[in-house]
Homo-oligomer: A and B are copies of this chain.
Amino acid sequence: MDSDYGVPRELSDLQKKRALYHPELPPCLQGIEVRVEFGDQTITSDQTSAHATRQAFPHTYGQPLVHFLRPTAKVPDAQIISEHPPIRVGVVFCGRQSPGGHNVIWGLHNAIKSHNPGSVLLGFVGGSEGLFAQKTLEISDGVLSTYKNQGGYDLLGRTKDQIRTTEQVIAAMTACQALKLDGLVIVGGVTSNTDAAHLAETFAEAKCSTKVVGVPVTLNGDLKNQFVETDVGFDTICRVNSQLISNICIDALSAEKYYYFIRLMGHKASHVALECALQSHANMVILGEEVTMSKLTISDIIKQIADAVQARAKQEKYHGVILIPEGLVESIPELYALLQEIHGLHNQGVSAENIPFRLSPWASALFEFLPAFLRTELLLNPESDESAQLSQIETEKLLAQLVELEMNKRTKEGTYKGKKFSAVCHFFGYQARGSLPSKFDCNYAYVLGHICYHILEAGLNGYMATVTNLKSPVDKWRCGAAPITAMMTVKRSSRGPGATPIGKLALHPATVDLKGKPYEIFQEKALSFLMDDVYRNPGPLQFDGPGAETKAITLCVEDWDYMGRIKLFQEYLDKVKSIVKPGCSQDVLKTALSSMASVTNVLSLISTPSFGSQTTL
């Protein structure tokens, strides 16, 4: 695979304008000097994972949280880096392309060159395969000129998603050493950042001097945790999809004769579907997380949709728009169990043609019940992260067909008296991935690129670049870095024959939090969305005028700023320490002790692993 750099590119007026846009930097990254503050040592979010992570990552677990501050910031222990020797950095796109990827490279290049023009940035051509093969393109301003603020990963391209097997890891290390890299920046989602963490640990173990840095870029919106508020690309994807969904809503309302079943790309989690529902006010969205929580079977879901169709028919409404996340198929218990059996047989080397004959009687019965197109799609080889090929499984068609059968049945039984139910199916996936990135994604990616440079300059290994307080304007953004190991958890899934071992340590896709603010807001409005057709059209992505500065609703309603709060907590601790010093009064000490005892008790209680699960019951 070759880089497309050098191919003549005809930019449209809008692309030219976008290429001229220069993202703003938050105050802490402006100027040459940046103050690095090391915070507390990090832990993982639960104790089981902490133990497993400590064992698996002896060199990179427990590293401190890092904040980047203005050189003038009044922080006692922070360190100012004022020497900027030339460095050599490699950057690689891993996994599915996501809008904004090019801006990470641009930000990184800009930071590297502005600190020392002698530094070198090498892009690996063709993703991880290019890394293994040491196929590089030296990044320069000229190379970047037509890729700034543009979509796709076409400047460098991408191939395989993983850097995981021993051979792959050795090839990566060999490349870094041969190219004398001080740093390797991996741009990708949960899988690629898990790989980045492993690579960092291996490099540290092998005393390879290349530091590994991860950047959260994935359209799925599922690289999200206490340190990462959202990932690059999610905003753009949701806006492109919401535009199309809204167009379909208006279309449905104009013709008043179809139900549109729209499947949305977004992998296992339903973040994209939830955000699009909040933006477009589509009538229904079947969130995978709700299905999992309530253990809804196919027939439960069909009943739910059919009941909605029936309720709307009573109001003379024979149209509607229903959003289906592509991951839904893995949330429906019986389909998930069937997929697990199929993947188990794949792993045992059984060919796709023979799998149907090797299924358990139960799975076989379900398999035979499904329409032919779905059977073929379920038999496809699983993806590199062992999930099904979600983009290929037409769940929307399955649901539409089954709802139609159900409505016909109800008509025959006389329980449904409305007009004939008609469905049109859509899959919105590939048409959003290559979009021009939104202003938000342009800025966010560019700033993350800058942060990567400062992480490397501070000599950190196995970190992810982070920006928090993203819902505020850029001048309020906080820049930092968190060890990727602190985001890891032990996965407890996978059953069935030949399943992967229980307890895999990795970054796992964040699911939609059913106790979170965005879901709460959605629930308040769900009935009105369903019945009242209060469709809202965010319109096409704008780069000027109203709408240009909009950000994802799920980002803005969240009460985020974890990093800010961690800092605030530290300030409280320092304040308390400074008050309760030897020589303070008995009263002060007594009050301090009783208050701290109470705080300690409460926190111990709610930090036990069982606490969370009890409250959800």
Complex: A607 Cα to B399 Cα, angstroms: 58
- Nearest Cβ on chain B to A158's Cβ, whole angstroms: 6
- Nearest Cβ on chain B to A246's Cβ, whole angstroms: 7
Within 8 A of B (CB), among A11-62: 11-18
Complex: A9 Cα to B532 Cα, angstroms: 10
The answer to whether A583 has its CB under 8 Å from any CB of chain B is no
CB–CB B97/A254 < 8 A: yes
One digit per residue, 1 when the CB lies within 8 angstroms of any chain B CB and 0 when it does not, for chain A 145-162 equals 000001111100111000
Interface centre among A244, A316, A541, A548 (most CB of B within 10 A): A244
CB–CB B254/A10 < 8 A: no
CB–CB B426/A546 < 8 A: no
With A7-B532, A13-B546, A17-B546 known to touch, is A539 a contact of B254 (CB < 8 Å)?
A: no
The answer to whether A386 has its CB under 8 Å from any CB of chain B is no
Complex: A434 Cα to B540 Cα, angstroms: 12
Closest residue of chain B to A126 (Cβ to Cβ) is B256
The answer to whether A1 has its CB under 8 Å from any CB of chain B is yes
A436 proximity list for chain B (CB < 8 A)? 537, 539-540
Interface centre among A426, A533, A538, A547 (most CB of B within 10 A): A547
- Nearest Cβ on chain B to A379's Cβ, whole angstroms: 16
Complex: A17 Cα to B548 Cα, angstroms: 12
The answer to whether A414 has its CB under 8 Å from any CB of chain B is no
One digit per residue, 1 when the CB lies within 8 angstroms of any chain B CB and 0 when it does not, for chain A 229-266 equals 00000000000100111111111111110001000000
CB–CB B254/A434 < 8 A: yes
Complex: A545 Cα to B21 Cα, angstroms: 13
Closest residue of chain B to A243 (Cβ to Cβ) is B540
CB–CB B430/A424 < 8 A: yes
Complex: A2 Cα to B317 Cα, angstroms: 9
The answer to whether A486 has its CB under 8 Å from any CB of chain B is no
Interface of A (DSSP majority class) = loop
Within 8 A of B (CB), among A128-174: 150-154, 157-159
Give the copy number: 2
CB–CB A537/B13 < 8 A: no
The answer to whether A536 has its CB under 8 Å from any CB of chain B is yes
Complex: A535 Cα to B93 Cα, angstroms: 21
Closest residue of chain B to A318 (Cβ to Cβ) is B1
CB–CB A533/B254 < 8 A: no
- Nearest Cβ on chain B to A91's Cβ, whole angstroms: 15
**Which of B152, B255, B316, B534 contacts A253 (CB under 8 A)?**
B152
With A152-B254, A435-B247 known to touch, is A544 a contact of B541 (CB < 8 Å)?
A: no
**Which of B10, B240, B536 contacts A536 (CB under 8 A)?**
B10
CB–CB B152/A250 < 8 A: yes
The answer to whether A432 has its CB under 8 Å from any CB of chain B is yes
The answer to whether A431 has its CB under 8 Å from any CB of chain B is yes
One digit per residue, 1 when the CB lies within 8 angstroms of any chain B CB and 0 when it does not, for chain A 466-485 equals 00000000000000000000
**Which of B248, B424, B434, B540 contacts A250 (CB under 8 A)?**
B434
The answer to whether A542 has its CB under 8 Å from any CB of chain B is yes
The answer to whether A109 has its CB under 8 Å from any CB of chain B is no
Within 8 A of B (CB), among A528-570: 532-548, 550
Interface residues in chain A, defined as those with a beta carbon under 8 Å from any beta carbon in chain B = 1-2, 4, 7-18, 93, 96-97, 150-154, 157-159, 240, 243-256, 260, 279, 281, 316, 372-373, 424, 426-428, 430-436, 532-548, 550
25 contacts between A and B (CB under 8 A): A1-B316, A7-B532, A9-B535, A10-B536, A11-B537, A13-B550, A14-B542, A14-B547, A17-B546, A97-B250, A97-B254, A152-B251, A157-B256, A243-B540, A245-B431, A247-B432, A248-B430, A250-B433, A250-B435, A253-B434, A373-B373, A424-B430, A436-B539, A543-B545, A544-B548
Instruction: A13-B546, A14-B546, A247-B434 are known; give 6 further A-B pairs, CB within 8 A.
Output: A7-B532, A12-B536, A14-B539, A154-B250, A246-B434, A373-B373
The 5 closest A-B pairs by CB, nearest first: A250-B434, A152-B250, A544-B545, A540-B540, A247-B434
